[in-house]
Chains A and B, each alone.
Chain A
Amino acid sequence: MFHGKVIDASKQSISLDEAKKFITSEQCGASLFFIGTVRNHNNNKKVTGITYDSHDAIVEKSFKEIYEEAIHKLTIDHPSVYIEHAKGYLGLGGISIIIAVAAKHRSQVYELSRYIIEEIKKRTPIWKKEHYNDHQSDWLKGNPVHDLSK
């Protein structure tokens, strides 16, 4: 089972309860929730918030590809995956991403969750603009994407 979506932070929040409802299954003995939040510092600067930009269609396509790739490459029994990423402005502590996974065994959920977040970082078209306490803002440098299928 798979769910992957971009959430507009001005209209909706990422919900841990929804993620839990989606992945819960009697076939699975392990569930893992990875949550990314906005922290108050980066590169020796005081961060006050982050604006996330997203190419929604490619992001959602990329989530699906990463999920399919993961269950093909890794040995996962009864995988269930729920991914949501926020776009728009989030203040400190705001949830930017949730990756909720369930599977038969604990080793499988750790492996699956880690695989998904690392691939998202490498190739999913989401961008961060950090806002600082001196009222300056900067786009973070990021990783070049040359082929989403690789």
Chain B
Amino acid sequence: MKIKIELFGAARDFSKQDYLELTVPEPTSIKEVRENLMDFIQAKYPENKNYLEIVKRSAFANEHNEIVQDHYQLSANSKLCIIPPVGGG
């Protein structure tokens, strides 16, 4: 199934668009999405270890604007946001 990940902060550098679409097995969890995203980054930017670090340190939010944990299950056409480490002010 396909899921859409909206990009924010440092993760915006992962794509020229403001989102990524990943194809993941159904059902899937945040933990698996993170692994899948890391595989995608490793394939697309093999030299850039910093991008992998960003994915490792990021949280994810669902379409209800809630931060979701690793065990959270996603359904087809789910929308997620990646929330890299924050630092406003």
Contact = CB atoms under 8 A, between A and B. Distances in A.
Contacts of A149: 67
B61 A120 contact: no
A120 B61 CA distance: 17
A102 to B, nearest CB: 21
Contacts, number: 88
A97 B88 contact: yes
Nearest to A52: B88
B9 A141 contact: no
A99 to B, nearest CB: 9
Contacts of A53: 8-9, 12
A128 B58 contact: no
Interface stretch (A24-32, A54-62, A73-81): A54-62
Contacts of A16: none
A55 B83 contact: yes
A45 interface: no
Contacts of A15: none
Counting chain B CB atoms within 10 Å of each CB, the highest count among A122, A124, A127 belongs to: A127
A146 B59 contact: yes
Given A53-B8, A58-B65, A144 B87 contact: no
B83 to A, nearest CB: 5
10 contacts: A53-B9, A121-B89, A123-B86, A124-B88, A125-B61, A126-B88, A127-B87, A142-B84, A143-B86, A146-B69
Question: Which 10 residue pairs are nearest across A and B when measured between Cβ atoms?
Answer: A126-B88, A127-B9, A142-B85, A142-B87, A139-B10, A144-B57, A145-B59, A144-B85, A57-B65, A148-B67
Given A124-B88, A125-B8, A142-B9, 6 more contacts: A97-B89, A121-B86, A125-B9, A127-B10, A142-B10, A142-B85
